[in-house]
């Protein structure tokens, strides 16, 4: 098989957290197709390694994807030392770091007044908020030490920009990601580092697919195309943002929500 895709990320090195599934795994594939080398970071080393082997096998016959272009590393993004170690491992394997995609996250929901803070607040804040902070910090330091440059992309959410059902903590964490993105872009600009956030909407990941067909249909109705967004579609946007073609996109939020945020819901109008 011969690759006919873009080479916009040729020889760039990326670390993708939450890279073994959903948007993360789709982005691994998109980056490889465009010539990048990718380190898949997951909480479990076996899961990270299995994903790396799976993707390597998929691209084995692709002339433009060099052998050894993908590897796996274990990381708990809620632990700065582990995030820094994952960055160091990426540099050890591939020689440098060019793109940090802070994508790992968890979801969960419960009415606010029913919260147990240890279960319904702390874990989401540690992973979805602190994990992005740690990724920005570790990658930013690596980019500085390399002499500057680099791109940091953070996964926020439509929930980071508005109130939503059963999402008190999740929305707060994702809103923090947007603030982190703006502040990091400001502070890291002197090193030539860009920082961008994406806000996915209703994505057809296993998290969504576990729900009933009726609920999935409701989710789809909230999007302008009236269908769930595929992870591959988000991955292509992330790949573009990581490329030099996106050099003027910096410190901003890129919506990948198929219009979720521009309207409420379709309904039949009454007669006027």
| Residues β-bridged to residue 41 | 17, 73
Query: Helix H segments across 115-263?
Result: 117-120, 122-124, 131-146, 168-188, 206-209, 213-221, 231-242
* Per-residue confidence (pLDDT) for residue 3, from 0 to 100: 45
The residues, ordered by sequence, that sit 6+ positions from 54 with a Cβ below 8 Å of its Cβ are none
pTM of the entire structure? 0.95
Question: Average pLDDT in the 78-96 region?
Answer: 98
> What is the rounded average pLDDT of the residues 175-190?
98
Architecture of the domain defined by 13-204+230-254: 3-Layer(aba) Sandwich (3.40)
pLDDT > 90 in the chain, percent: 88
Q: What residues are paired with 197 via a beta bridge?
A: 154, 253
For residue 192, the model assigns a pLDDT of 98
Q: Considering only CA atoms, which of 140, 139, 178, 143 is closest in space to residue 158?
A: 178
**Per-residue pLDDT, 76:** 98
Angstrom distance (rounded) from CA 257 to CA 260: 5
| Per-residue pLDDT at 24 exceeds 60 | yes
Domain boundaries, the chain: 13-204+230-254
Q: Which comes out higher in pLDDT, residue 14 or 206?
A: 14
Which band of pLDDT confidence, cut at 50, 70 and 90, is reported for residue 165?
Answer: confident
Active site (catalytic) residues: 170
What's the pLDDT band for 5 if we cut at 50, 70, 90?
A: low
Tell whether the model's pLDDT for residue 4 goes beyond 80.
Answer: no
> Which residues are CB-neighbours of 30 under 8 A, at least 6 positions away?
232, 235, 236, 238, 239
What is the per-residue pLDDT across 239-266, written as a single tens digit (0 to 9) for each?
999 999 999 999 999 999 999 999 877 7
Is 188 within 8 Å of 174 (Cβ atoms)? no
Per residue in 35-52, pLDDT tens? 999 999 999 999 999 999
Based on its alpha-carbon atoms, the radius of gyration of the chain, rounded to whole angstroms, reads: 19
The Cα 170–Cα 159 span in angstroms is 7
42 in Cβ contact with 19 (< 8 Å): yes
């Amino acid at each position: 098989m011969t690759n006919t895709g873009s080479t916009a990320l040729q020889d760039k090195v990326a670390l993708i957290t939450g890279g073994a599934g959903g948007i993360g795994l789709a982005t691994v594939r998109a980056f490889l197709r465009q010539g990048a080398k990718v380190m898949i970071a997951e909480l479990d080393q076996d899961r990270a390694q299995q994903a790396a082997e799976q993707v390597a096998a998929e691209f084995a016959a692709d002339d433009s994807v060099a052998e050894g272009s993908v590897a796996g590393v274990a990381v708990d993004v809620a632990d700065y030392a582990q995030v820094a170690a994952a960055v160091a491992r990426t540099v050890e394997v591939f020689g440098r770091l060019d793109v940090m995609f802070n994508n790992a996250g968890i979801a969960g929901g419960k009415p606010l007044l029913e919260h147990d803070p240890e279960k319904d607040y702390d874990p989401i804040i540690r992973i979805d908020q602190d994990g992005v902070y740690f990724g920005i910090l570790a990658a930013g330091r690596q980019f500085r030490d390399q002499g500057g440059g680099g791109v940091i992309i953070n996964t926020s959410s439509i929930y980071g920009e508005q109130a939503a059902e059963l999402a008190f903590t999740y929305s707060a964490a994702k809103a923090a990601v947007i603030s982190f993105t703006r502040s990091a872009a400001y502070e890291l600009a002197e090193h030539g580092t860009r920082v961008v956030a994406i806000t996915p909407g209703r994505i057809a990941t296993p998290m969504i697919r576990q729900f009933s067909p009726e609920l999935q249909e409701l989710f789809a109705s909230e999007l302008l195309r009236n269908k769930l967004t595929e992870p591959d579609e988000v991955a292509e946007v992330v790949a573009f943002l990581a490329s030099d073609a996106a050099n003027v996109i910096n410190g901003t939020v890129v919506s990948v929500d198929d219009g979720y945020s521009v309207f409420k819901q379709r309904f039949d109008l009454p007669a006027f």
